[in-house]
């Protein structure tokens, strides 16, 4: 269960004002767009523009849950005759939806049986870490990033949050003992750094695999649907993992410089981690089963990449495997194992029950479907082409890498105001259209927008992980903004440089 997100009375008033204004502003903006003369658009594209304007306002102001807004957008497309119900709702059954469904079920299995905590505590107790405050911070963030490659950044932050609190309180107690003075752990620089590390490393870690963050799959799905370009799980990791490593080095350096630890050694910090690991006891049957299912998924996901390296992409075995075991089938196969592998055969108890499985984030799946629908409709009606031409004229970016640079910063700015999934949904199809209009390779700009959608670090409302750690009381808003701006800027530059170096090597640029 994620820790409670604490907000001040002023913030609560602002959120109420924002949602109330947005509730009425959304339909008003939608109707206003419909009334504007747009001679260059078809009737369907004009109506879609009004619908998308309404949806965007509600995504930003959140008067109703974001997934419900995504469903509303699909419903309005049918009601206003943009397309038939069969066409509009087809993206809700896209294979990418089932890839995330399978990965969500696997993540739920990890949480139910405590495999994620065991993994985190095991790494944090490595001898190299010792009692060094710097190495504890480094390993803490590295664990968050590594886990977030496979489960949601929100779940990762919620899991790492109490671990970080324990380390900070240990440091506070140690300083108080040495100075014989009461030390408020909420005022420690190290506490601020530890909390921000939990949130930022979890969000950054999501770029490492296609299933690590919703924008990744949104971008991949749109490239496959709109460009007929398929980037495999293995291909994604080939450029994303090196990029993540460099990103994490930057993040750690920022946290060390901005929030220098009060002391160099935290005596007893690692002992508290080892005690938590000891409380977990021996490996349970459920943990072993979840690990086995997870390894099956990873093996099936990366096998096509190894086959391509060994046999080439034209070999029959590669084509056959890709057709029979796509990523979605691999994820669902592994997820199904959780309902088959027993933890107690005599009682017919299995690794995961359906009741437990239903607790996954269904809202994200609905948001996926709605986002894919709106993206497809923009292309089918010609709206994306019209928007692309307009933006191209304004930006003046005419080269592949100039457009990629612009796409990255647009996506980062949008992600500060709304969820990363909504950001990718809004930005990626437009960027693809802009690239096509400019006559340049649309893959680098689309990937730039996709990766940058995860880069929202300035405000507590930017991402759920930010809100979680802000609720600790250890992160003043000014320090979150300062660190967030620097990581936004550094991350944006590194995304561009990473894609510029890696994509040509992989034949994607």
Model confidence at 484: pLDDT above 70:
yes
| Selection from 265, 251, 213, 17 nearest residue 100 by Cα | 213
Going by pLDDT thresholds of 50, 70 and 90, the confidence category of residue 247 is very high
Percent of residues, the chain, with pLDDT higher than 70: 91
221 and 450 Cβ atoms separated by less than 8 Å: no
Cα 492 to Cα 486: distance, rounded to the nearest angstrom: 10
Model confidence at 301: pLDDT above 80:
yes
Check residue 40 and give its pLDDT: 82
Check residue 343 and give its pLDDT: 93
For the entire predicted model, the pTM comes to 0.73
Looking from the CA of 338 toward its CB, the CA atoms found within 13 Å total: 30
Cα 78 versus chain centre, distance: 30
| Residues 481-504, mean pLDDT to the nearest whole number | 93
E strand or H helix that includes residue 344: strand 342-344
Cα 122 to Cα 132: distance, rounded to the nearest angstrom: 17
* 336-361 pLDDT tens trace: 999 999 999 999 999 999 999 998 87
Check residue 178 and give its pLDDT: 65
Cα 124 to Cα 141: distance, rounded to the nearest angstrom: 10
* 86-113 pLDDT tens trace: 999 998 988 878 877 888 888 888 888 9
Question: Who's near 37: CB < 8 A, 6+ residues apart?
Answer: none
Greater confidence (187 vs 495) lies with 495
| Selection from 502, 417, 501, 406 nearest residue 462 by Cα | 417
Check residue 280 and give its pLDDT: 82
Model confidence at 468: pLDDT above 80:
no
* 332-341 pLDDT tens trace: 999 999 999 9
Going by pLDDT thresholds of 50, 70 and 90, the confidence category of residue 284 is very high
Check residue 2 and give its pLDDT: 41
Check residue 3 and give its pLDDT: 43
Token pair for residue 102? Answer: 């399978």
Model confidence at 455: pLDDT above 70:
yes
Cα 477 to Cα 413: distance, rounded to the nearest angstrom: 18
Q: Please, which contacts does 489-494 make with residues 24 or more away whose CB atoms are closer than 8 Å? A: 490/250, 490/254, 491/204, 491/247, 491/250, 491/412, 491/452, 491/455, 491/457, 492/408, 492/409, 492/412, 492/452, 492/455, 494/243, 494/246, 494/247, 494/250
| Residues 156-182, mean pLDDT to the nearest whole number | 73
Cα 389 to Cα 184: distance, rounded to the nearest angstrom: 56
* 378-425 pLDDT tens trace: 878 888 777 767 766 666 666 889 889 988 988 888 787 666 777 788
Checking phi first, is residue 361 left (phi over 0); if not, alpha (psi -120 to 50) or beta?
Answer: beta
C-alpha pair distances (Å), 454 with each of 202, 425, 462: 10, 12, 10
Check residue 23 and give its pLDDT: 94
Going by pLDDT thresholds of 50, 70 and 90, the confidence category of residue 4 is very low
Burial (0-12, 13-18, 19+ Cβ within 10 Å), 367: buried
Cα 337 versus chain centre, distance: 25
- How is residue 345 annotated by DSSP? T
* 198-209 pLDDT tens trace: 889 988 998 998
Token pair for residue 166? Answer: 């324990």
Check residue 267 and give its pLDDT: 64
Cα 98 versus chain centre, distance: 17
φ/ψ of residue 167, rounded to 5: -65, -45
Going by pLDDT thresholds of 50, 70 and 90, the confidence category of residue 135 is confident
Going by pLDDT thresholds of 50, 70 and 90, the confidence category of residue 457 is confident
| Selection from 367, 477, 341 nearest residue 70 by Cα | 367
Model confidence at 32: pLDDT above 60:
yes
Going by pLDDT thresholds of 50, 70 and 90, the confidence category of residue 217 is confident
**Mean pLDDT for all residues in the chain:** 84
Three-class DSSP category at 342: strand
What is the DSSP annotation of 265-321? B-TTHHHHHHHHHHHH-SPPHHHHHHHHHHHHHHHHHHHHHHHHHHH-TTSHHHHHH
Check residue 494 and give its pLDDT: 95
| Residues 2-15, mean pLDDT to the nearest whole number | 61
Question: Who's near 130: CB < 8 A, 6+ residues apart?
Answer: 270
Check residue 182 and give its pLDDT: 67
């Amino acid at each position: 269960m994620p820790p409670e997100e604490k907000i001040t009375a002023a913030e609560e008033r602002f959120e109420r004002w924002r949602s109330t204004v947005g509730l009425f502003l959304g339909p008003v903006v939608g109707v206003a767009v419909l009334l504007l003369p747009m001679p260059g658009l078809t009737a369907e594209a004009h109506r879609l523009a009004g619908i998308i304007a309404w949806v965007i306002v509600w995504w930003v102001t959140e008067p109703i849950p974001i997934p419900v807004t995504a469903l509303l957008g699909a419903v309005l497309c049918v009601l206003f005759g943009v397309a038939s119900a069969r066409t509009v709702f087809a993206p809700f059954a896209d294979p990418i939806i089932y890839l995330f469904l399978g990965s969500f079920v696997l993540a739920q299995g990890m949480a139910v049986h405590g495999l994620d905590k065991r993994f985190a505590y095991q790494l944090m107790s490595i001898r190299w870490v010792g009692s060094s405050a710097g190495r504890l911070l480094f390993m803490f963030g590295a664990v968050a990033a590594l886990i977030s490659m496979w489960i949601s950044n929100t779940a990762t932050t919620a899991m790492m949050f109490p671990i970080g609190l324990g380390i900070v309180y240990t440091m506070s107690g140690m300083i108080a003992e040495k100075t014989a003075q009461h030390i408020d752990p909420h005022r420690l620089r190290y506490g601020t750094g530890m909390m921000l590390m939990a949130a930022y490393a979890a969000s950054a870690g999501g770029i490492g695999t296609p299933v690590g963050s919703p924008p990744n799959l949104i971008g991949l799905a749109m490239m496959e649907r709109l460009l007929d370009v398929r980037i495999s799980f293995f291909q994604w990791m080939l450029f994303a993992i090196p990029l993540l490593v460099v990103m994490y080095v930057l993040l750690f350096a920022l946290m060390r410089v901005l929030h220098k630890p009060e002391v160099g050694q935290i005596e007893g910090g690692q002992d508290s981690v080892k005690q938590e690991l000891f409380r977990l006891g021996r490996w349970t049957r459920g943990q072993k089963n979840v690990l086995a299912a997870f390894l099956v998924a990873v093996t099936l996901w990366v096998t096509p990449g190894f086959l391509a390296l060994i046999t080439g992409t034209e070999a029959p075995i590669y084509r056959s495997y890709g057709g029979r075991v796509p990523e979605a089938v691999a994820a669902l196969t592994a997820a199904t194992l959780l309902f088959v592998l027993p933890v107690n055969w005599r009682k017919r108890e299995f690794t995961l029950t359906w009741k437990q499985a239903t607790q996954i984030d269904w809202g994200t799946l609905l948001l996926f479907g709605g986002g894919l629908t709106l993206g497809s409709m923009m292309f089918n009606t010609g709206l994306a082409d019209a928007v692309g031409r307009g933006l191209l004229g304004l930006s003046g970016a005419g080269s592949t890498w100039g457009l990629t640079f612009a796409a990255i910063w647009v996506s980062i700015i949008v992600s500060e105001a709304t969820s990363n999934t909504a950001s990718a949904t809004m930005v990626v199809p437009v960027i693809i259209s802009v690239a096509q209009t400019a006559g340049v390779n649309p893959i680098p700009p689309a990937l730039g927008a996709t990766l940058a959608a995860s880069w929202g670090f300035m405000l507590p409302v930017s991402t759920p992980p930010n809100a979680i750690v802000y609720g600790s009381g250890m992160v003043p808003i000014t320090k979150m903004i300062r660190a967030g701006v620097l990581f936004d800027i550094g991350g944006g530059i590194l995304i561009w440089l990473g894609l510029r170096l890696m994509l040509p090597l992989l034949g994607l640029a």
